[in-house]
């Protein structure tokens, strides 16, 4: 089975070059490496490196003139030719088992998506918006809830979205993780591509895709050996500072996801997002009016898109 690796990238330089260099070590395991670049201007050494690889046919380089992660994924799909499409982030490190384990996952019955173990290495977590958004109480509650649901690598339902992509055994999963996920090409034919309405930080775009493929009868499997290291670089990508624009996109994407896939009410989504709302408030932002506005924006976007 031919594998197309797609890496969407935005405002990354050195870490992007390191990621591409790492993947090229295993070029005998995949069919093509596609870089979908949304960066307006790279540092000179990064541009030189990417141009050289493109000229030597080591990568397929595609430039997109506006940043939107789901759209970048779709552009990659449209320009790929593999039977399996593997999405990796632009700040990761794979090993000799990663790609081969993704391929092996599709030998299981009805598998439409494979996701793998993610080991996070970030030396400056205090400066990272993702870690900064994870309060201790919220983390502990999620951990306790997940103990009950340990038979899966991830859960999506009335309790919201819970996941643990650090386990060491093969498990079924409700959802995948965007930095390390692969799909059969046929999934995008039968289920559609990624929804570009998940803008900004693109929270829930991978979860949305996961639920759609499961509704079509496909399964998701978590394979630890299909693992990688995720550096979660503090700048670039979908990471911005914890300002009002971040929270507006965060809540709008969350509301859009829960209404679209579960038709949850305003109060129920508010309950699921309560810890994030409180976290937003602690950062000095009027979180309640912002959440209400984000909910209305999500409703309007759904009506505009789906009628």
Q: Which pLDDT does position 139 carry in this prediction?
A: 67
- Residue recorded with tokens 């990663």: 98
- How far, CA to CA in Å, does 76 sit from each of 48, 159, 208? 22, 33, 18
pLDDT in tens, the chain (307 residues): 899 999 999 999 999 999 999 999 999 999 999 999 999 999 999 999 999 999 999 999 999 999 999 999 999 999 999 999 999 999 999 999 999 999 999 999 999 999 999 999 866 655 444 545 555 666 676 667 667 666 899 998 887 888 889 999 999 999 999 999 999 999 999 999 999 999 998 999 999 999 999 999 999 999 999 999 999 876 666 655 568 888 999 999 999 999 999 999 999 999 999 988 988 888 889 999 999 999 999 999 999 999 8
Q: Which pLDDT does position 162 carry in this prediction?
A: 86
Q: Which pLDDT does position 290 carry in this prediction?
A: 96
Q: Which pLDDT does position 232 carry in this prediction?
A: 82
Q: Are 277 and 271 in contact (CB under 8 A)?
A: no
Say how far apart CA 147 and CA 304 lie, in whole Å: 40
Query: Residue 221, Cβ neighbours under 10 Å: how many?
Result: 23
* 3 state SS for 49-94: HHHHHHHCCCCEEEECCCCCHHHHHHHHHHCCCCCEEEEECCCEEE
Say how far apart CA 104 and CA 91 lie, in whole Å: 24
């Amino acid at each position: 089975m031919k594998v197309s690796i797609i890496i969407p990238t935005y405002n990354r330089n050195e870490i992007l070059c390191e990621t591409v260099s790492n993947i090229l070590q295993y070029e005998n395991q995949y069919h093509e490496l596609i870089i979908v670049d949304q960066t307006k201007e790279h540092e000179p050494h990064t541009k030189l490196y990417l141009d050289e690889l493109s000229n030597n046919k080591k990568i397929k380089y595609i430039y997109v003139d506006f940043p939107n992660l789901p759209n970048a994924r779709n552009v990659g799909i449209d320009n790929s030719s593999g039977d399996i499409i593997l999405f990796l982030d632009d700040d990761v490190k794979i090993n000799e088992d990663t790609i081969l384990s993704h391929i092996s996952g599709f030998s299981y019955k009805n598998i439409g998506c494979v996701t793998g173990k993610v080991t996070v290495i970030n030396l400056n977590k205090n400066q990272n918006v993702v870690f900064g958004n994870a309060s201790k109480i919220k983390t502990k509650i999620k951990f306790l809830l997940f103990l009950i649901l340990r038979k899966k690598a991830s859960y999506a339902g009335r309790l919201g979205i819970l996941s643990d992509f650090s386990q060491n055994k093969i498990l079924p999963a409700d959802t995948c993780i965007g930095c390390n996920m692969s799909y059969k090409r046929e999934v995008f034919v039968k289920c559609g591509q990624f929804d570009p309405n998940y803008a900004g930080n693109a929270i829930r775009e991978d979860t949305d895709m996961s639920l759609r493929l499961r509704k079509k009868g496909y399964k998701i499997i978590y394979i630890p050996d299909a693992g990688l290291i995720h550096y979660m670089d503090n700048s670039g990508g979908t990471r911005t500072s914890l300002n009002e624009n971040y929270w507006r996109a965060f809540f709008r994407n969350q509301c859009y996801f829960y209404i679209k896939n579960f038709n949850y009410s305003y109060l129920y989504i508010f309950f699921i997002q309560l810890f994030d709302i409180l976290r937003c408030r602690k950062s000095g932002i009027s979180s309640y009016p912002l959440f209400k506005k984000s909910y209305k924006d999500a409703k309007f976007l759904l009506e505009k898109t789906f009628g």
